[in-house]
Structure formats: structure tokens, C-alpha cells
Amino acid sequence: MYFESIVRPEQEGRCLLDVLCKRFTYHSREEWIDRLGRGLVSINGEVADTDTVAHKNDKVLYHVENYTEPDVPTDFSIVFEDEEFLVVAKPAGTPVHHTGRIFYNTFAAIVRRATDCETATPMHRLDRDTGGLMLFAKYAETAARFQKNLDRILLRKFYLAVVEGVFPEGETRCDLPLREDPDDRLRLRMHHLEDGKECHTVFRKLGSLERDGHTYSLLEAELITGRKHQIRAHLAELGFPIVGDRLYSHDGIYYEKMARGGGLDENDYRVLGARYQMLYAYRAEIALPYWKEPRTFRSMDFPEEMKSLVDGFGLHV
């Protein structure tokens, strides 16, 4: 397996070792020194070493030894593209950035390879099991220019969520502050704690249906703030965890099982209700500076199990 990258303009004249350490943090500096010493990195077709200097647009090739990754969905659609930005529909099940086991098939890397935009940068993120619309800057310079004022271009974000049970009719606003609880056995889970970060989500019930002995509600969720796991945690705190959410439903036992490397079987998925959590970023309102008016983009490319349920609601959004 080979990883390929292009030296960015801001890295002109820097030591290749320093470039690798800063940009590809999945190896320590000592590990990069070892790999350079063993001839596993080349630049423009020539074997590199710890003294190699990088220049803008140099092609760096890294030979990865004994490398395997779990399979993830790699298909995605481009909803909009211009000279500076992309709006793309991420598949559920693919992490945006590298994880402990996935470096090559992150969604950011998939988009870069498919579009030939080697520095394409996600302007925000979605959880691994959440699919839907994402805004990418095609170039690092564009991302740097807009990242600090993202709320001025990404105006509104809407999600569809399927929960089990009968959610209250109409509109429900949840303002529960959230943070991690160090006493939770699952440290990354967010909880309602009074000293948590300010969080606001608006839920709108779109319908209910009964299927196979279960009652489901379809919700539209609008993020007012954008905290970690905000929609998932708010719905769990309200007593309506998202169908298929391994972390926030069933006390997180299925997340624990996967974290231990055991994998889930068909019976586990049957209890969860889906292979991927039924949360999808389906609509975004975006206003780029060179547009006269904001534009709204939509995607309904749900995972199959979610699509089946959403179709059952007979709803067109």
C-alpha cells in the first residue's frame, strides 16, 4: 500500500521530516525517522532521508508496511461545485478524519483522491455513522480564509432523525448544556450537566408510523449550536435515542462491544434497529461571499434501512 501526497505551498523549503511530522500525526517523529531511514519514503521518485528538503508541489510517496483497514463505504455524490468549494453527500459509516484504524479511507482522503483537489478540506464534520451534506473548501488557502467565520457562509444545517416512540407533536426546543462526564465508563459520551457547554437544538416532528411492532417518529433537527454529538445527546436526554445509535441507546453496550474489537452480529443489529444510526444531514443553507443570495442544498441519499423507514412516512421534504 502506498500513500501519496503533494507538498503544500506553505511548506516550501522545509525539511521533509518536519512536514511529515506536522501533517501526518499518526506516526511519531521517531517513527518517521525510522521509515525515512529504511527508504520507505520517496520524493519525486527519489528515495528521501532525514536531510531531504521539500518544495512546493513535490510528490511524496510513502510505502506503508503490513497495512489493512476495515472496509468503509467510499461512494459519494457531488451536490455542488465551483472554483473554491464543494458540497458533497458523505456516506454513513465513513469517518471524516483518520481514526485509530482508518487512515487511507477517511472521507477527506476519499474526496481528495476523487476530485484531484489534494488539499480539499472539510469545513465541518459529521460523526462516522452520520451521512449527509458536507461543505469542503477545495484548497487549504480557501479553508484558512473562511474557517474562523464559518457561520457566515454555512448559515443553517438541518438533519433528519428517526427515533423509536411517539415524539411530542410540533416543535420542541432543547437547550440542555452538554459535556463529557469523567465518571462515565464511556468517556466520549456527552451528558446534560449544568456546567456543560451551551447547546441549542430545535426538533420538529414530521410524522409517526408503526412497523413490525414498533412505533417510530421522524424528526427534523436544526442545529443552532454545533457541539460534539449534540443531536444524538439531546435526543437521548429527552428519552428518544436515535435508532441504530450504538453509543446513546441501550446504555452503550453495542458501542463497547465494537470498541473491544468483537464486531456486531445480525442479532445485535436487530436490537439496534439498523446498521447505521438513522441521522442524516439532509439540508444546508449556504451563502458564499460572491453569491447575491443564500442557496439551499438537499440530499436524500439515506442508508437503505433509513430510506425504507423514511419512505414509509410518505413524506417529501
Q: Cβ(303)–Cβ(274) under 8 Å?
A: yes
Report d(CA 162, CA 216) in Å as an integer.
Answer: 7
Beta bridge partners of 15: 53
First to last CA, the chain: 43
Report d(CA 240, CA 46) in Å as an integer.
Answer: 57
What's the Cα-to-Cα distance from 291 to each of 134, 166, 199, 212, 238, rounded to whole Å?
19, 41, 30, 48, 39
Give the rounded distance of the alpha carbon of 99 from its chain centre: 11
Cell of 197: 457547554
Q: Crossing angle for the helix pair 29-37 and 16-23, nearest 10 degrees?
A: 130
Report d(CA 297, CA 310) in Å as an integer.
Answer: 19
CA nearest to 120, candidates 100, 106, 131, 102: 106
Q: Where are the beta strands (DSSP E) in the chain?
A: 2-6, 41-43, 46-47, 59-63, 77-81, 85-90, 121-122, 131-137, 154-164, 171-174, 178-180, 190-192, 201-211, 214-223, 279-286, 295-298
* Sign of the CA dihedral running 167, 172, 177, 179: positive
Q: Cβ(6)–Cβ(58) under 8 Å?
A: yes
Is 33 strand, coil or helix?
helix
Active site residues: 127
Cell of 260: 473491544
